[in-house]
Structure 1
Amino acid sequence: MARKKLCFMKYITLLILLAFFLIDFTFSQGKSKIEITDLLGRKVEINKPVKRVVAIGPGALRLVSYVDQFNRIVGVENIDKKYIIGRSYNMAFNDIIERLPIIGQGGPDTSPDPEKIISINPDVIFAIQLLDRDGADKLQNRTKIPVVVLSYGTLGTFEEDLFKSIEIIGKILDKEPRAKALISFIKNIQRSFTLRTKYISDKNRPSVYVGALGFKGARGIESTQGFFPLFTPLYIKNVADSIGKKGSIFIEKERLLLWDPDIIFVDLGNLYLVKEDFSKNPDFYKALKAYRKQNIYGILPYNNYNTNIDTALCDMYYIAKVVYPKEFKDIDPVEKANEIYTFFFGDRGRNIYKEIEKAYGGFRKVNLEE
């Protein structure tokens, strides 16, 4: 009798162990770990599948939205709670953003809020600009959540850092085909610009200036950029390149008179400052060839909490159409803008250009006297 009881107990024990094994096996199915190397060179281990995501710092949320829309975003920075015309991902997903909890203040000079991030229990934290290597490690140790640092590269450009960041997001979120499609879309547009403009003779390239570019706030006509990233893929003769400095430059107005470019582009987000200046100094503008020949044009603001890649591409089509009308005679910049916003945001992107146009006037010649 004792032997039978002992055998029965062993049988029950085996059944219990088998049950635990099956439960653990079932739970483990679909689970895996991957190791990625982020843009700081940190090796980060992540449990998959990833179902809950936060993105902190300038433009991190934008890149995640490009790859996965807002399917796994569970919290946003306070800076994104305000609806901003021109910050395209904010425009596309504002209704979702409004409902999500706040995970920190946000902004280029702020620090992450570990407690708020922990409170919503994300599986991964994507970050841009806010953290150096030590800061990323500290946030990861504090929250016990993998921290993956991304990068756009140089502001307003389309460098390998941007493409690597998109690839990393795709790998972590099991969206690799979408990530590849995004990268191909951007690179194919760049190639198409090169094919149309690289071999134009120098005599057929007008001289061009871009002014009123925002830099840590709104700026007037004196604010420009050397080797402007929207010009370089189009082989545009940028008069500011003669200074030999890459990036933001503030010039004396007299220099613009000396350059006297054939065409001037103005950031529509800061057009009001140019108009205010015109009302005070009309003779300066009237002395410019571009003013006299009505060759001043507006481009959409494309830098807002880092670069709106989509809007930058839209601007490039319009710039190309203005500077090289013959080579781009088949291009309708507004149609291209709608196509680009729809590619990046699906149906939610269909009305983005219309809203920006309503706010800033859209692609057009600029009349400083209006």
Structure 2
Amino acid sequence: MHKKFLSLLFVGIFIFALLIGGCSPKYEKTSNSKSKNIMITDLLERKITLNKRIDKVVAIGPGALRLYCYINGSKKLVGVEQTEKGSTVGKPYMMVNPNIAKLTTIGQGGPNNSPDAEKILSVKPDVIFDTYASDKSSADELQSKTNIPVVVLSYGKQSTFDPDMYTSLKIIGKVTGNESRAQKVIDYMKNCKDDLDKRTKDIPESKKPSIYVGALGMKGTHGIESTQGNYSLLKAVNGKNVVDETGKTGTVMIDKEKLLKWDPDKIFIDEGGFQMVQEDCKKNPDYYNNLSAVKNGEVYSQMPYNFYTTNIETAMADAYYLGKVIYPEKFKNIDPIKKADEIYKFLLGKGVYSQMANNFGGFRKIILK
């Protein structure tokens, strides 16, 4: 009788254990499913609910793919715009990730085109990162057409070192489960900005040479007359930009005679428009020879960084070169070429300065003739 009781007791305990064990997975599954949903507030202040497991991604619009590559490289990408499949010249993120060009085409791309909902749907992404949308309605429309969450990103007003750009990187990290990498990228960029500022912020205005940056690209290449007011890279090194006298911010097309009047101490030429400047110099040598910077051998290069919006890593490298040329004493321990490759490697995984130099000329003193 005692043995029978013990047998029944063991059977009961075993059955109870099975019941408990059978309940546990159901509880855990329910708990996990609840934790999968995360809330994102994008750059248009749209609130989007996402499933935490994001395995397939597309990034559309000017610069969206580049921002994505800073955080994840080519991982999880399932489609790419046709415009990204062209030449990699001037686009370090594509130089480092050439496999992206082999992905399925999800639309034409380009600053004057709209998203192709049908082609995006063909690759079945879990999320769409988008820089096309300038208002909530256009982002909501694409989301409605595809039934796929659309997360709007932005480079902000100045792109390089812009708070909106930092926020966009943080969002990409959160959505793709790579928040640690996103924070490292943001911290690196901010540290570079702080370093540039600390080296130059205490220089008296009276000891700063006057600077002009010409041939800047904006929706195409331009000659010497294309410049910027409140130019972000000169601001980063506290440079004296002669164009700031105009009170304008962003792209400015000056009258060439104005440059003669300003007669800056040093001139930087964006290599994207360098050929146009050279051709103009051949036609109008007297004009250029009347500039003090040309006469004194104070004309320098700047690598072009505007290709489907800003290549932030190249712009950062340019800022260090500007600093080195303008204030050599403050940048004694900086080799601009090594610094450029450090920036490329940190943000993209590989130093590509030599490729950029082969394509454009790299950091150098320019002789206009």
* Aligned counterpart in structure 2 of residue 157 of structure 1, from 150, 156, 160: 160
SS at structure 2 position matched to 1:214: coil
1:339 Cα deviation (Å)? 0.5
* Length-normalised TM-score, structure 2: 0.91
Residue matched to 1:267:
270
Matched to 1:322, the amino acid is V
SS at match of 1:148: strand
Q: CA deviation at 1:84?
A: 2.6
In terms of mean alpha carbon deviation, does 25-34 or 109-118 score higher?
25-34
Superposed displacement of residue 128, structure 1: 0.6
Q: Give the residue type in structure 2 aligned to 1:121.
A: K
Which of 213, 216, 219 is the equivalent residue of 2:219? 216
In 2, distance between residues paired with 1:43 and 1:29? Answer: 20
Distance change >3 Å, CA 343–CA 196, structure 1 → 2: same
Cα distance in 2 for partners of 1:212, 1:83 equals 21
The answer on whether the counterparts of 2:80 and 2:101 sit within 8 Å (CA) in structure 1 is no
Cross-structure match for 1:123: 126
Corresponding residue for residue 44 of structure 1: 48
TM-superposed deviation, 1:156: 3.7
Q: 1: CA distance between counterparts of 2:266 and 2:118?
A: 52
Residue pairs, 1:270-309, within 5 angstroms: 270-309=273-312
Q: What amino acid does structure 2 have at the position aligned with 1:56?
A: I
Contact (CA 8 Å) 1:156, 1:312: kept in 2 or not?
A: no
Alignment partner, residue 8 of structure 1? none
Secondary structure in structure 2 of the residue aligned to 1:327:
helix
Q: Secondary structure at 1:36's aligned position in 2?
A: strand
CA distance in 2, matches of 1:200, 1:289: 23
Say whether the 8 Å CA contact 2:242–2:264 is kept in structure 1.
yes
Within 1, Cα distance between the matches of 2:250 and 2:29? Answer: 55
Please give the alpha-carbon distance, in whole angstroms, between the structure 1 residues aligned to 2:309 and 2:68: 14
Determine the C-alpha separation between the residues in 2 that align with 1:281 and 1:160. 42
Distance (whole Å) between structure 2 residues aligned to residue 156 and residue 144 of structure 1: 30
Alignment match of 1:171 (pick from 165, 169, 174): 174
Q: Secondary structure at the match of 2:71?
A: helix
Tell me the distance in 1 between the aligned counterparts of 2:91 and 2:185: 19
CA contact (8 A) 1:30 1:49 kept: no
Instruction: Give the TM-score of the pair, scaled to structure 1.
Output: 0.91
Alpha-carbon distance in 2 for matches of 1:54, 1:147: 10
The percentage of counterpart residues that share the same residue type is 49
Distance in 1 between residues matched to 2:231 and 2:49, nearest whole Å: 38
Which amino acid is 1:89 matched to?
Y
Aligned pairs (5 A) from 1:28-177: 32-94=36-98, 96-177=99-180
How many positions carry a matched residue from both structures? 350
Q: Distance in 2 between matches of 1:244 and 1:116?
A: 45
CA contact (8 A) 1:78 1:106 kept: yes
For the residues of structure 1 that align with 2:182 and 2:159, how far apart are their CA atoms? 19
Distance 1:238 1:69, change over 3 A: same
3-state SS, counterpart of residue 191 of structure 1: helix
What 5-or-longer segments of structure 2 have no aligned partner? 1-18
Residues 50-102 of structure 1: CA deviation (Å, up to 9, x unaligned): 010000000000011101111111100000001231111111111x1232000
The one-letter code matched in structure 2 to 1:185 is: Y
Q: 2-side partners of 1:26 and 1:99: how far apart?
A: 39
1:236 to 235, 239, 242: 239
In structure 2, how many angstroms separate the alpha carbons of the residues matched to 1:360 and 1:226?
24
Judge conservation of contact 1:79–1:106 (CA < 8 Å) in 2: yes
CA shift digits 1:329-361 (9 cap, x unpaired): 111000001100000111xx22x1111101111
Contact 2:128–2:148 (CA under 8 A) maintained in structure 1: yes
The answer for the alignment partner of 2:362 in structure 1 is 362
Structure 1 regions of 5+ residues with no counterpart?
1-14
Give 1:141 deviation, angstroms: 1.2
Other structure's SS at 1:161 match: helix
Pair 1:24–1:326, CA change in 2 (3 A): closer
Aligned to 2:183: 180
Q: Which residue of 1 is the match for residue 255 of structure 2?
A: 252
1:155·1:306 contact (CA, 8 Å) conserved in 2? no
